[in-house]
Amino acid sequence: MKLGILIKQGPFTHQASDTAYLFTVAALAKGHEIYRVFFYNDGVYNSNKLSEPQTDDRDLVSLWSKLAADHNIDLVVCVAAALRRGIKDEILAEGFRISGLGQLVEAGIQADRTIVFGD
């Protein structure tokens, strides 16, 4: 099954980012394809390479980057949501790119299912 993932919460304020990451890892392990992961609203904070979690905490930004590199996953950050939160190309972590809501619409069309994490 081809899946689209939409993440609407940041990595340090809500469980949605962790759940989305773990879901994506599990889906890949079961042989599903991830068409695109789209970060919207506070979810754009998942792309900020300047974030520095505590040493005993998970680093979701790096985890998403590695997962994207290992599985050729398209990580798209909503341009409007990113700019509102001060996130620009120069602070994007490896594997992330900024684009518009059209990328979310396309993922919804191309994927068999789109799973939303966060409210």
Distance between CA 62 and CA 50 in Å, rounded?
11
Which residues have a catalytic role annotated? 78
Q: At what angle do helices 16-29 and 60-71 cross, to 10 degrees?
A: 20
User: Token digits for 18?
Assistant: 């962790």
Q: Which residue has the tokens 């939303």?
A: 116
Cβ count within 10 A of residue 77: 28
- Compute the distance between CA of residue 61 and CA of residue 49 in angstroms, rounded to an integer: 7
